[in-house]
Structure 1
Amino acid sequence: MSDESGLSRRSFLSRLGAVGVATVAPAVAQPVSAAPVALLDAPAPEAIENAVPVSLKVNGKVLDLKIDPRTSLLDCLRETASLTGTKKGCDHGQCGACTVHVNGRRVNSCLSLALMHEGDEITTIEGLGTPENMHPMQASFVEHDGYQCGYCTSGQIMSAVALLKEPCGPADADVKELMSGNICRCGAYPNIVAAIQAVRHTA
């Protein structure tokens, strides 16, 4: 079909495409003359408004920090102290991925303000052991495949280590009850319980 001017639809679309290519091609063909922006030229991060000083003892080291007074212990550890082994899962105290020890007791660090812990002894997964010298619970998790994706593992291990010092019956069901605050979305629960029981039986 063609209109009164004698231009068919196919001819019109072909010409339109050619015009589009001709318009874009010069811009694409031009060499990039501007030098890439160096990361060092990026503006420095802005100072935190209303920041307050806080001194936290984490894994045996004193950290003098300046933080927003509303900062959770979890965000302070991850974002300010760069201790990213503690994971942010739900950020509502429901999954246990952010579990750390405060004065030897397990806490959900997402539910606690960092300012509340000045002078406390805080232990994260980084302070529990190293790849060369693992804590017995870490070694047991490896031996029993107590993880799959690994995202919840640091919180699971921190809770499991705390459990060793808590009143807990001998049965697997007792361990499951005390570990119920830690969720594994992969479903590695049987192996997690086996890892914990192995440590309990050798302690």
Structure 2
Amino acid sequence: MTDSATKPIAIITGSTRAVRIGPQVTKFVHDVLAEELSPTPSGVNFTLSEVDIASFKLPVFDEEVIPATVPFMAQFAHEHSKAWSAEIAKYDGFVLVTACYNAGAPGGVKNAIDYLYNEIKGKPFLIVSYGIMGGDKASNSLKITLESMYVHVVETRPMLAFAKNEPITGGMAWDMIQASQGKLGEDSIKEWAEKKNDIVNGFGELKEFLTRPGGTTSG
């Protein structure tokens, strides 16, 4: 974590599926947060960068060392591990945008987290989930995982549910069909506008954590 007056924050796209709406949801969240970057009274600035897990092409964890030992006692052997570790280590805080698949966190998200430890230890996370029911089970699962790694998960965890508009095929709502095709429906975007305050409040909690004395959970 940096001690400078600028705190870089990553907005992480969690979904790694070939057909996905993750980047579109990340853009929605980014657009909301871009209006919340005013410096604090103490002069601390915040920057936002999008990080897409899919771009790192991480296989199921394939290192022979335990991430908690890197870099102090051991080193990663593979370039994909090194690149992912180096990217995440650059940031002071994180907004994790995650889908919910089969009542849980996407495997790609959990796998990417399993490559990390010291890169995120003591840093704050805002979890923003999306799905048919808003992704509550994915959010809850990731909260447990991250907190076990001594990460601070902020209290507010926005959950964005797809619009339950008129069923088209097999009882599936139109926006859900669009999501399965990698498209974010207009009705969902309209409904999510009502969730903007949750996103802003969660980001405020993340910023407050970063500007308090120490700014880490590990002291």
Say whether the fold is shared (TM-score over 0.5): no
Higher strand share: 2
Report 1 or 2 for greater relative contact order, CA contacts < 8 Å, sequence distance ≥ 6: 2
Taking structure 2 as the reference length, what is the TM-score of the superposition?
0.24
